[in-house]
Structure formats: structure tokens, C-alpha cells
Amino acid sequence: MARVLVVDDEPALRDTMRRMLERAGHEVIVAADGTAALDLMAAQTVDLIITDIFMPGQDGLELLRRLRSAGKNPKVIAVSGGDRTGTMDLQEHAQGLGARRTLSKPFELRTLLDTVAEVLREP
């Protein structure tokens, strides 16, 4: 299947996504923020990144900006539950930076798996 990088600062959600994707046959690596994700990507290639938008440290939007400035264009699914106040949603901005799809938290794990399969089928 595919090598998927899951980037999320919430350990429980990160682990749940990892387990679900592995059960679907994917190889999964995880990172707690954008900086750790970039470090992992320097050592290995990935087919898909699933990143939270709001994270302490380097957030998902900065990760997308840095990938773009480095000339990398991986397939990305951006995930967000809004900011800490619940009023800000930057999913459209994430798409403008290269995310192929966005998901709003909370989401069904079936929705995640369907979205992953859809994005991986795209050229």
C-alpha cells in the first residue's frame, strides 16, 4: 500500500489513526509537529501526509509552506477542529497551500480511510 506520515500533537488521535491505517495495510510513521515531520521526511519518502493544522511548535500550515518552498509537493490531507476557541477554521487556507483534502474534527475513522484511499488514487 502506501507510506503515510501522520502529524498530530494529540497522542491518542495520532495513535488511533496509525492503528487504523496500519490495519488498512499502510506503513505509518508519526510525528508530533511539523518540525519532527520535516526531520522524518529528510530521511525517507512518504506517499501521503495527514497533518493537523493547529499544533504547538510548527503547525500544519507552516509545514505546508515549508514543503512548498522546498519544492516538494506531497499528497496532503489537512485535519482541523478549529483553533482553541473553536472559531477559526483554516482548512481553505490549507488547500491553498497544497492540501488535497481537509477533514474536520471530530471525524469518523471510516471517513479518514475513504479519504486516504481517494487521495492515493489521484495522480
Kindly state the percentage of the chain with pLDDT values over 70.
92
Global pTM value: 0.90
CA distance 98 to 101: 9
CA distance 119 to 114: 9
For the cut 70, the answer to whether the pLDDT of residue 88 exceeds it is: no
DSSP SS3 for 25? coil
Q: Look at residue 75 in the predicted model and tell me its pLDDT.
A: 96
CA distance 99 to 89: 14
Residue spans of the domains in the chain: they are 3-121
Tell me if 36 sits within 8 A of 4, measured CB to CB.
no
Cα→Cα distances 1→21, 48, 106, Å? 10, 11, 26
Average pLDDT over residues 46-57: 93
Give pLDDT tens digits for 29-45: 999 999 999 999 999 99
For the cut 90, the answer to whether the pLDDT of residue 90 exceeds it is: no
Domain covering 3-121 in this structure, CATH number: 3.40.50.2300
DSSP SS3 for 32? coil
Residue 104 pLDDT class (50, 70, 90 cuts) = confident
Distant-in-sequence contacts of 11-17, Cβ < 8 A, 24+ apart:
13/105, 16/109, 17/50, 17/109, 17/112
Give pLDDT tens digits for 59-83: 999 999 998 888 788 899 999 876 5
CA distance 97 to 84: 22
